[in-house]
A = this chain, B = another copy of it.
Amino acid sequence: MERLDEIDLKILRILQRDSNMSTKKMASLLNLTPSPIYERIRKLEKDGYIKNYVALLNKKRINRSVTAICMVSLRYHNEGFIDKFDSQIKKLNEVQECFHMAGKVDFFLKINVSGLDEYHEFVRTKLSRIDNIGVLESYFVLKEIMDTTEFHF
């Protein structure tokens, strides 16, 4: 719960890149034995530094290679409408990220689909059917320059 020392930070840095590394190998990298590594990791989990362990998939391989950014503004901005948009957007499987923003645009969405056809269907049959949408602007990714879950510290 207290501050992390340099060893904890190194462990987190490693786990962000390769969560399957054995405590044995990590121990040799950090000039320690496996036991303290093991205990520190359990502590980092317990204290909430580590949310979960996941496999990252290759978008191309699973036919989700098109990424779109969509900016949405609502027509009315009272609490009920915002919460309603919130709960409806969570049901859409194509949406990877959705942020409620400060400023002129209300929401940023990152959407992954197989192609433009599917994006068209997504907007037509799902997104645009959500109540109270005012403006809806779509942008397409030409090239992913960076896309990482890793924080540098």
Which residues on A are within 8 Å of B, measured CB to CB? Answer: 12, 15-20, 47-59, 61-64, 67, 69, 86, 89-90, 93-103, 105, 107-108, 112, 139-153
Residue pairs across A and B with Cβ atoms less than 8 A apart, 11 shown, are A16-B57, A51-B56, A51-B58, A52-B55, A67-B99, A69-B99, A86-B145, A100-B142, A100-B143, A102-B140, A107-B145
> Number of copies of this chain in the oligomer?
2
Is there contact, CB below 8 Å, between B61 and A57? no
Taken together as a complex, chains A and B put the C-alpha atoms of A47 and B57 apart, in Å, by: 11
Is there contact, CB below 8 Å, between A61 and B49? yes
Which B residues touch A47, using CB under 8 A? 61
Q: Please give the distance in Å from A33's CB to the nearest CB on chain B.
A: 21
